[in-house]
Structure 1
Amino acid sequence: MFTQTDLTHLMTRSPSAAVSIFMQTHPKGKEIRQDPIRLKNLLADARSKLAAAGLTDTDIDPMLSPATAFLEDREFWQHQSTGLALFIDEGQTHDYRVPLNLDEGVVVGDRFHLRPLLPLLESDGQFSVLTVTAEKATLFNASRFQMTEDATAELPAREPIESDYENPLQASPPARPNVGSANIPNAQVYGDSPPDFKKTRLLEFVADVAKAAEHILTARPQPFVLVADAEISGHFQQSRDLGPLLAGTVDTNPNALDSHELHRLAYAKVRERLDRGRMKSLSDAAALLGRGDATATNSLADIVRASHQGRIRSLLLRDGAPIWGRYDRETDKVEMELTPGNVSEDLLNVAATETLQHGGDVHVMSVDDLPADTEAVAILRY
């Protein structure tokens, strides 16, 4: 799972040359055999662009070597998602298998091209999924596109324990009735009956899980979805009132679901809530632009400048092709280019990464969400 930590790590690297490669991949089927061939072609493209930027074979060969090794790594190609992103510099190669249909391409510059992966990290696209069975509770970190187990979450687990209940015919000799003339009402019974014992143990376990989950989830400013059968779900909600954090419940045994189905059902419960943030930002931006308020702008040059100054609170980006150009920090000048040059950058990528580094929100919008001929809108802090 591509995380905010990964994004921060890639944003803060300062390589002399950074290569970003994106391609579609196939989790299964005969198309898997074509994926190494397509990566080989993309690496050839990367080599050409690095050479055009002034690097020699002595520089390029060791830089691309780790990614080239993937071409013959059969195991690597057997465990893919729908998209593969490679970030390569002179020191490291980072590969991310992501659930996105990435447009194929290679970008070479002095920073990584991260915009294609931003939908995975939208601030209003994050939520948690808590699954609870009679023996185990598991917490997942989730986004609109993917879900992964939170290995740091400390939640209770329960070992099966036998009840100490003894029925009359299995009781110790003083309590055992005479089989010839049974007098069961007078027999001694030790411990709870199996149904009572099972229910008591379940209630205790669910209460412990609810308490631990409340401690973890209240520290996160994001909603969660509970997945458990109806009995456990009812006990959980009676034990703890998590108020607005609980976005919904899926009343089914989570053990009966694979990870994709689990994510699909949980996302359906939280989707409307997640969409509120971006829709509010879009509505606020339209209102500000409509009345000519200076705290909103759709000028790409102004947006790039404001992103470097840390003035963007929310940035709405059109999901589409790069806008090539360059920004000169010393002169604060933005130049647009029709085709990428050796030192060109995608200005939308620049604005997005700078906004995130300064604590702003970034929303990747569909083509129809933003006004025509508008590539981005920014709501400014000041």
Structure 2
Amino acid sequence: MDILTTKELLELINREEDLFVSIYMPTFRSGIDIRQNPIRFKQLLRVAESKLYSMGMEKAEIERFLKPASNLVGEIKFWQNQSDGLAFFIHSDGFNYFRLPFEFKESVTISNRIYIKPLLPFFTGNGQFNILALSKNKSRLFRCTRQNVMEVFIEGSPDSMFDMQVDDDPRTKLERRLSNPRSISTLNYSTNTQAQDNENDYERNELTRFFRALDAYILSIHEGENIPMVLAGVEYLIPIYREKSNYPNIVEDFISGNPETLSPEELHKKAWDIVEPIFNEDKALAEAKYKQYSGQNNHLYLNSLEEIIPAAYSGQIESLFIDKENHQWGKFESYNNQVELFDEEKNDAEDLIEFASLLTLSRGGKVFALHQDEIPDKEKIAAVLRF
């Protein structure tokens, strides 16, 4: 699985492009059905080709633009290593893709910016969390959503405590210190007590080194992220990792016991019980603020696109609630903050609900993609403002 971080999403959001092709499709992980993966992708590229042609692009220009993606159709190994869904973005520098544990509906969107609405569940209350299963023998990292769990293979980091090589083994030093004892009784005492103490110190030192290396790897792939992480492990390992970790969002509760005896699905179920209240808390807080502000009838809540788009553009939105199923086509002119709504999709229109989400995320706000009946005031969109 590919790690989709907020930082990477924002980098794509902030790309200035004349043309962005966003492709979403479900994929098969294994079995004979994996043969369908490249076939589906090729069909979606044809849809993109047709849309580009209808926009006035020449055939040669279209082939050149789509060629890096088209070359991937024949890469058998790539299509044999998929998750539940593929998000694929084609732009002037080539393409970016993410194989994610989430089944997307097939879609091809062409605009001057990335189409992100199908990704919003990864960054809201149904979103991503990590499980780190700690073990001296084999630690495992999992990236999860509410529905799915996928192991992230830890490359460039030691697999276990026993991969840590040291030259100053305290047990060797102990043997040298005991080589010339003053008496047999002293030797017996020293062997039975100092050896045990040094053995414990040695294991803790090696665990510390291992956990630091593991933590450095996890931080490197989650730079700029604040995704909750649930630890799993026997109880004495948990405080050692917490003490040495610089990860910004380790959940207080943890999964106790030897994680080597649990399947990914079992770990996922236990971890979701821990993180679900955390995800719900953010949404509940935003809903409470909206209810408070609307009850006070002040200026810190909005529920119309004509007002929300300019507020999102200026960075005023703290929390945004959107209808994840619906679109609202239109245009926004930033120079005069004018919003024009259309009854149907047009070549010069964009989905303003998705555009409001993009603006909110890029300016540090939170987006909650919900069903319309879950949105405050049952509107297609609603917002809580910072100021």
TM-score normalised by the chain length of structure 2:
0.79
Asked if the contact 2:357/2:367 (under 8 Å) is kept, the reply is yes
Aligned length: 370
Deviates more, 1:112-121 or 1:200-209: 200-209
Amino acid at match of 1:40: K
Check the 8 A contact 2:253/2:274 in 1, yes or no.
yes
Check if 1:312 corresponds to 2:312.
no
1:220–1:58 Cα change, 3 Å: closer
Q: Deviations over 1:301-359 (max 9, x none)?
A: 21112111111111122221332222122342222223211122111111111112222
Write the deviation string for residues 176-216 of structure 1: whole angstroms up to 9, x where unpaired.
9xxxxxxx979746534676554443344556778999999
Amino acid in structure 2 at the alignment position of 1:60:
I
User: What is residue 46 of structure 1 aligned with on the other side?
Assistant: 48
Aligned partner of residue 374 in structure 2, secondary structure: coil
> Where in structure 1 are there 5+ consecutive unaligned residues?
177-183
8 Å CA contact 1:297–1:303 kept in 2: the answer is yes
> 1:229 aligned to 2:234?
yes
Query: Which secondary structure does the structure 2 equivalent of 1:230 belong to?
Result: coil
Q: Residues 269-324 of structure 1, C-alpha deviation per residue, up to 9 Å, x if partnerless? A: 22212220112112221332244222101102211121111111111222213322
Does the C-alpha gap of structure 1 residues 246 and 202 become closer, same or farther in structure 2, counting only changes over 3 Å? Answer: farther
Q: Is the 8 A contact 1:63 1:91 kept in 2?
A: no
Q: Which residue of 2 aligns with 1:99?
A: 101
The residue that corresponds to 1:285 in the other structure is 290
Pairing 1:191–2:191 present: yes
Partner residue of 2:7?
5
Q: 1:327 maps to what in 2? A: 332
Using structure 1 for the length normalisation, give the TM-score: 0.79
Q: Distance between the aligned counterparts of 1:51 and 1:86, measured in 2?
A: 20
- Distance in 2 (alpha carbons) for counterparts of 1:295 and 1:354: 18
Q: 1:86 aligns with which of 81, 85, 88?
A: 88
Distance 1:211 1:68, change over 3 A: closer
Residue 29 of structure 2 corresponds to residue 24 of structure 1: no
1:272 partner SS: helix
Identity of aligned residues (%): 28
- 2:38 corresponds, among 36, 39, 42, to 36
**For residues 268 and 364 of structure 1, what CA distance do their matches in structure 2 show?**
21
Describe the SS at the equivalent of 1:55. coil
* Structure possessing the higher radius of gyration over alpha carbons: 1
2:120 aligns with one of 82, 95, 118 = 118
Aligned residue identity for 1:327 = F
CA contact (8 A) 2:376 2:382 kept: no
Instruction: Give the direction of change, closer, same or farther, for the CA distance of 1:348–1:80 in structure 2 (3 Å limit).
Output: same
Out of 144-153 and 285-294, give the one that drifted further. 144-153
How far did 1:237 drift? Answer: 7.5
One-letter amino acid matched to 1:76 = F
The 8 Å contact of residues 18 and 108 in structure 1, kept in 2 or not, is answered as yes
Following superposition, the deviation at residue 55 of structure 1 comes to 1.0
Whether the 8 Å contact between 1:227 and 1:254 is mirrored in structure 2 is yes
Alpha-carbon distance between aligned partners in 1 of 2:213 and 2:125, rounded to the nearest angstrom: 25
CA RMSD of aligned residues (A): 4.2
Q: Evaluate the alpha carbon distance shift between residue 34 and residue 124 of structure 1 in structure 2; reply closer, same or farther with a 3 A threshold.
A: closer
Q: Distance in 2 between matches of 1:220 and 1:65?
A: 33
